[in-house]
Structure 1
Amino acid sequence: MARVNCPECESKAVITSRETQSSHAAHLYCVCTNTKKCGASFRMTLGFDHYINPPLMTTAQMAKQLLKNLPREQQLELLDL
């Protein structure tokens, strides 16, 4: 689970609402829990960057496409047929 820290005092912050911008990005509205010394409210942006390990379906689709582009002999060799 992600943790949000206040950019001013580095204390823990609470996400009070989320505004979806797209399927891969959102604005998070946050409030610092250090109310005695900070108490800032702020907006952070949460966004998808890239896969470290792509989903299995995507991996299978990539393998299928690569295999399809090889000559028949190489396809059979890779599949041990």
Structure 2
Amino acid sequence: MRIDCPYCLKKARITSRNYLNEEKTVSELYCECTDRDCQARFVFSLSLKHHINPPAPITQELIQNLINRMSQEELGELQKKIASSAYSREAIKKPPKRV
């Protein structure tokens, strides 16, 4: 990750980090400008905003839990959908067209 000095816009260096929560998703980054003429020191806030795609093990666990809770009838319906052309591998390989 690159941090730029907010004053001179030159490259800055992260000198330390202070985590603000147990999950380590929010932190303060203590920084200093690398430009000798500026030498500014400042603190940036860094936080996890949201997940775009959760880690694979979490996704797999979620899917397994959903499948385990399905009735035999629901599992049969799911298998039919997977086997149908709308859910075939060809359909999955081709990404939908964006408008």
TM more than 0.5:
yes
Higher Rg: 2
Report the TM-score range of the alignment, normalised by the length of the smaller protein. 0.7 to 0.9
- TM-score, scaled relative to structure 1: 0.77
Return the letter of the residue paired with 1:14.
Answer: R
Q: Give the distance between the partners of 1:76 and 1:27, measured in 2 at CA.
A: 51
Residue in 2 that maps onto 1:13: 12
Q: Give the distance between the partners of 2:79 and 2:39, measured in 1 at CA.
A: 61
Count of residue correspondences: 78
Among all aligned residue pairs of Structure 1 and Structure 2, give the percentage whose two residues are the same amino acid. 37
Q: Where does structure 2 lack aligned partners over 5 or more consecutive residues? A: 81-99
* Displacement after TM superposition at 1:60 (Å): 1.5
Higher relative CO (CA 8 A, sep ≥ 6), structure 1 or 2?
A: 1
Deviates more, 1:52-61 or 1:27-36: 52-61
Cα deviations across residues 23-70 of structure 1 (Å, max 9, x unaligned)? Answer: 21111110011121x221100011112222211121122223433454
Question: Higher helix fraction: Structure 1 or Structure 2?
Answer: 2
Residue in 2 that maps onto 1:46: 46
Q: Give the distance between the partners of 1:48 and 1:16, measured in 2 at CA.
A: 20
Return the letter of the residue paired with 1:17.
Answer: S
Question: Higher strand fraction: Structure 1 or Structure 2?
Answer: 1
Alpha-carbon RMSD across the aligned residues, in angstroms, is: 1.9
- TM-score, scaled relative to structure 2: 0.65
